[in-house]
Amino acid sequence: METHNRLTKSPNKWISGVCAGIAEFLGLSIDGVRLTWLFITLFTALMPGCLAYLLLHFLMPKREEI
């Protein structure tokens, strides 16, 4: 698996590539990060997880493919 020195959205995406980008940056399982985000979102009354995802969607740059 290739490593990246910068946090970017991943082209391996379901919605916008935020969870996949975080997983690839940290070297974790993409499905594990997605499930963790889902559980955190569900157990915090939806708003914090959705707000964090929305912020990251706009703040994380897209990966530049070479």
What pLDDT does 15 receive? 87
Q: What is the pTM of this model?
A: 0.81
Instruction: List pLDDT tens digits, range 2-56.
Output: 554 788 888 888 888 999 999 999 999 999 999 999 999 999 888 888 999 999 9
C-alpha separations of 20 from 13, 26, 35, 45 in Å: 6, 10, 11, 23
Task: Please say whether the dihedral angle defined by the alpha carbons of residues 31, 13, 26 and 1, taken in this order, is positive or negative.
Answer: positive
What pLDDT does 46 receive? 82
What pLDDT does 4 receive? 47
